Structure formats: C-alpha cells, structure tokens
Amino acid sequence: MNGWLLAAGVLATVTALIHLVAGGRDVVRPLLGSTLAAEPLRTLHAVWHFATADLLFSGVALIALAARPTPNAPLVLFIAAHFLAYAAVFLVITLRAGWPRPLLRLPQWMLLLPVAVLAGAGAL
C-alpha cells in the first residue's frame, strides 16, 4: 500500500465532497438564482458538475493506484499535474482580484495543492 497515494486519494475524495456540498450552497445556488443569460448559466452549472466528477474520479483512481504493488507512475503524475494546475489557477485568479487577504477568499488551492504534492511523492 502506497501511503502517499492513499492520502492523496482520500484528500481528493474529501475535496470532491466539500466541493459538492459547500460549493453547491455557496456557489451553485447563487449562480442559479442570478440573472445571467440561460446558456452561460447552464454551461457554468455543467462545468461545476464536471469538476465534481473529476475530483471524485481522481480520488477513487488514486486510492485504487495506492493498493497496487507498483502504481502506474505516468497516470499518478498526470493526476498530480492536473491538481497542481487547478491550484495554480485558483492562486492566480485570487491574487489578481485585488482583494485584501486574497489567499483566504478562494481557499480551494489549500486542498488542491496538497493532493498534487502527495500524489507526486507517491509516484516517486
């Protein structure tokens, strides 16, 4: 059992659940109640659920890979890279917003970056 990958997988799965529950309340409900035109609104709603599925499937994949005697390193690195990219996107958008204490306004990077680091460590 690869403990690094197991930790990454559990964290990614927990992140998916947080995304679904807290994000649904704090982001999706206000979005759906907005006056945004129907097509962009439904597109953003669909993309929201794409992200939920991606987080969940990645978490499950990392847990399954953790149980293998020799994890598929390219696949693990791919998953780590996309979590790193997600974290980077949140950091760039947050830091460019001009908010006070910006790193706490959109804290998603705090869950995404550790998954990338743990998965990367588990691939080595």
Contact status, residue 99 vs residue 105, Cβ threshold 8 Å = yes
Enter the pTM of the model: 0.90
Share of the chain above pLDDT 70, in %: 100
Burial 2-15 (b: 16+ CB within 10 A, else e): bebbbbbbbbbbeb
Give me the pLDDT at residue 43, please: 93
Domains of the chain, residue spans: 3-123
What type of residue is 18? Answer: I
Ranges of beta strands (E only) in 1-124 are none
What pLDDT digit, counting tens, does each position of 45-96 carry? Answer: 999 999 999 999 999 999 999 999 998 999 999 999 999 999 999 999 999 9
What type of residue is 12? Answer: A
Instruction: Identify the residue whose tokens are 């780590």.
Output: 80
Angle between helices 38-66 and 109-123 (to 10 degrees): 30
Give me the pLDDT at residue 69, please: 92
